[in-house]
Chains A and B, each alone.
Chain A
Amino acid sequence: MNIHAVRAIYGFEMARAWRTLSQSIVSPVLSTSLYFIVFGSAIGSRITEIDGVSYGSFIVPGLIMLSLLTQSIANASFGIYFPRFTGTIYEVLSAPVSYVEILIGYVGAAATKSIILGLIILATAGLFVELEIAHWFWMLLFLVMTSVTFSLFGFILGIWADGFEKLQIVPLLVITPLTFLGGSFYSIDMLPPFWQTVTLFNPVVYLISGFRWSFYEIADVNIGVSVGMTLLFLAACLIAVWWIFRTGYRLKS
């Protein structure tokens, strides 16, 4: 194991986040705070409790997930796309590092940033609404699994993309709708039956449901199913990454 290399890549990526602090931490925290003010306090006070939880508190897990997903993808995809774009990737490709080490460096850094961001948003939420966390262990596990999985997804996106548009369009056209329709702001059983069934094909539903369960012990789907689906998506991403590295897809000509 080339520990020095992992540390170099990881450190490089973390330094990048530090340089772009306003972009990577401040802006997501600000936008989620706005959600809390608008939906949690202003509108939320007019909405009845859902499953015995006030609306403001109810939306916290979903909002954290929303940031986690978008930031993991944005961070990881940019982290690998930019060196490809500028050509500096040559150095990583010519270095005595294994693909696993490259992955730990890039995806590890992106996931770390997301986890830190998630915890910051959680703390921010505590300032606006009442929070209780029933299962710390599961809460953290979902936080970590989601960050890792979607950082991997972002890594794949960053390798696949051949322009900045693609880099932005996937989060915008795919991830944001999936998150909004994934039960961030409502409980699935508030939907008509037909749409409840459709929703079950949205992987984000399982993440948000499981994550919310770790807070309030209320869930749209069984917690076991949530964990299973998350692991399934993680496995799918790992297989895609394995294939990319095996063939050198879009990394080597």
Chain B
Amino acid sequence: MHPAISVKNLSKRYDSGFEALKNVNLEIEHGEIFALLGPNGAGKTTLISTICGIVNPTAGSILVDGNDIVKDYRAARSLIGLVPQELTTDAFETVWATVSFSRGLFGKPANPAYIEQTLKSLSLWDKKDDKIMTLSGGMKRRVLIAKALSHEPQILFLDEPTAGVDVELRKAMWDVVRSLRESGVTIILTTHYIEEAEEMAERVGVISHGEIILVQDKTELMSKLGQKQMTLHLQERIGGIPGSLSAYSLDISDDGEMLTYTYDTHGERTGITALLADLSQAGVKFKDLTTSQSSLEDIFVSLVGKPK
């Protein structure tokens, strides 16, 4: 069986000369929820748009369930539903008309019962005869999801589905995603938030500056991302780390006024209590204490090895 999506040596250089994707390789299996994680401008939307046929690749190839997106574009695209990042909807159409339009566009015969069910699952049923421009932003996003689902795709792309969405809708959205997943739909979503990837995805791909830096099972990644630092501001500067504390992963600042302890929040024990006890044993006193979690940015830097 072919993977749901197979991207090989994909590069994209925009007309401006900007290289948005650099030799990307990625495989996504059938039926998984895959999160593409990366900061603004990393190339997430470019990657999705290229797979969906909206952006022309500069080099490389993409197969969707074994169908080349250029040569067998009909077969490839029929399998895909796309919810774009931007709220791009018609203004004057009704919800019902625009969702029916999408179904037809993707080559499916009309099926009012299916569309009714889709609208109901997204709590849009009572809005079906309303013009789209009269809907709120969150409802428009749901309309876009309904459009993407209208032709019963096997693969669903959600480009930042939770941007501008309140907590309740977010929960409702994840419910829809989970039930789609149960019915065997492959889901690829993009996000800026580690927590979101953590909650939803089974595998996570991290993308930065157009490169896929790593692809990993969520659980593995989370332990990697779960590092925290505790910084102790000392009352008196010390010349070096006391020998009795060598068992801890401690760093000393150049001026000898700060000690930084790195620990794993996912570990059974963080070692903080023991460290503090040993510090006072060694006679090291501190006037202040701060903790910080590695930000996504820090993690990128540590993954890539150097800031770009």
Contact = CB atoms under 8 A, between A and B. Distances in A.
Interface of A: 2, 4-5, 7-9, 11-12, 15-16, 19, 86-88, 90-98, 248, 252-253
Contacts of A15: 93, 97
A92 B56 CA distance: 15
Interface residues of B, number: 36
A90 B50 CA distance: 11
B55 A252 contact: yes
Contacts of A16: 92
A95 B56 contact: no
A248 to B, nearest CB: 6
A89 B241 CA distance: 62
Q: DSSP class of A's interface residues: helix, strand, loop or mixed?
A: helix
Given A4-B107, A9-B105, A96-B106, 19 more contacts: A5-B106, A8-B100, A8-B103, A12-B93, A12-B101, A15-B97, A87-B84, A87-B88, A90-B84, A91-B105, A92-B105, A94-B54, A96-B75, A96-B76, A96-B77, A97-B107, A252-B54, A252-B55, A252-B56
Given A87-B88, A90-B88, A253-B55, A95 B15 contact: no
Interface string B92-127: 110001001111111111000000000000000000
A7 to B, nearest CB: 6
A1 to B, nearest CB: 10
B80 interface: yes
B193 interface: no
Contact of B82 (A4, A7, A94, A98): A94
Contacts of B75: 96
Interface in B52-108: 52-56, 73-78, 80, 82, 84, 86, 88-93, 97, 100-108
B77 A5 contact: no
A5 B92 contact: no
B147 interface: yes
Contacts of B77: 94-96
Contact of A2 (B74, B76, B102): B74
A244 to B, nearest CB: 13
A94 B102 contact: no
